[in-house]
A and B are shown apart, each in its own frame.
Chain A
Amino acid sequence: MQGSTRSPETGGMRSLDPRTKVVAVVLFILAVNLIPAGAWPVYLVLLALLWSAAVVLHVGMLVLLRRSLVAVPFVLAVVVLPFTTPGAAIYELPGLGWQISREGMTLFLTILCRFFLAVQAAVLLAASTPVSELLWGLRKLGVPTTLVAIIGFMYRYLFVIGEEAGQMIRARAARSAQIPHHRRPSVFWQGRVSGLMVGSLFLRALARSERIYVAMLSRGYDGHPRSMLHLRMVAWDWIVVIGSGLLLALILWGRMA
Chain B
Amino acid sequence: MSCLVEIKNLSFSYQDGRTALQELDLSICEGEKVGIVGSNGAGKSTLLLQLNGVLQGTGDVRIAGDQVCRQNLGRIRSLVGLVFQDPDDQLFSPTVFEDVAFGPLYMGLDESAVSLRVREALESVGMDGMEERVPNRMSLGEKKLVAIATVLAMRPRILALDEPTAALDARARRTILGVLKHLDETLVVATHDLSLVAEVLDRTIVMDRGEVVADGPTAEILRDEAFLAEHGLI
Contacts and interface: CB of A to CB of B under 8 A. Distances in A.
Q: Do A and B come from one complex?
A: yes
A1 interface: yes
Contact of A218 (B54, B94, B131, B135): B54
A211 B94 contact: no
Contacts of A132: 93-95, 98
Contacts of B151: 219
Interface of A: 1-5, 130-132, 135, 152-153, 155-157, 159-160, 208, 211-212, 214-222, 226-228
A157 B93 CA distance: 10
Nearest to B52: A218
Contacts of A159: 136
Contacts of A152: 93-94
B82 interface: yes
Nearest to A222: B106
Most buried by B among A4, A153, A215, A218: A218
A1 B136 CA distance: 17
A2 B130 CA distance: 13
Contacts, number: 86
A132 B101 CA distance: 13
Interface string B79-109: 0011010101110111101100111011100
B62 interface: no
Contact of B74 (A4, A220, A227): A220
Most buried by A among B97, B98, B131, B135: B98
B132 A208 contact: no
B92 A215 contact: yes
Nearest to A219: B103
A142 B135 CA distance: 27
A3 B134 CA distance: 18
B46 interface: no
A208 B114 CA distance: 28
B49 interface: yes
Contacts of B114: 228
B77 interface: yes
A248 B9 CA distance: 70
Chain A, interface SS category: helix
Given A211-B86, A214-B49, A219-B150, A156 B92 contact: yes
Interface of B: 49, 52, 54, 74, 77-78, 81-82, 84, 86, 88-90, 92-95, 97-98, 101-103, 105-107, 111, 114-115, 131-132, 134-136, 150-151, 154
B115 A2 contact: yes
B88 A220 contact: no
A228 B93 CA distance: 13
Contacts of B135: 156
Given A155-B94, A208-B88, A218-B82, 17 more contacts: A2-B115, A2-B131, A130-B95, A132-B98, A152-B93, A159-B136, A160-B88, A160-B136, A214-B54, A214-B84, A216-B102, A219-B103, A219-B106, A219-B151, A220-B107, A221-B106, A222-B106
A-B complex: 3 closest residue pairs judged by Cβ atoms: A220-B106, A219-B103, A131-B94
A227 to B, nearest CB: 8
Given A215-B89, A218-B52, A226 B106 contact: yes
Most buried by A among B52, B94, B111, B154: B94
Nearest to B154: A219
A241 to B, nearest CB: 25
Contacts of A155: 94
Contacts of B94: 130-132, 135, 152, 155-156
A157 B84 CA distance: 17
B82 to A, nearest CB: 5
19 contacts: A1-B98, A1-B101, A130-B132, A131-B134, A153-B92, A155-B94, A156-B93, A156-B94, A214-B49, A215-B82, A215-B84, A215-B92, A219-B106, A220-B74, A220-B103, A220-B106, A227-B105, A228-B111, A228-B114
Contact of B132 (A5, A215, A219, A221): A5
Contacts of A211: 84, 86, 89
B121 to A, nearest CB: 12
Given A160-B136, A211-B86, A1 B54 contact: no
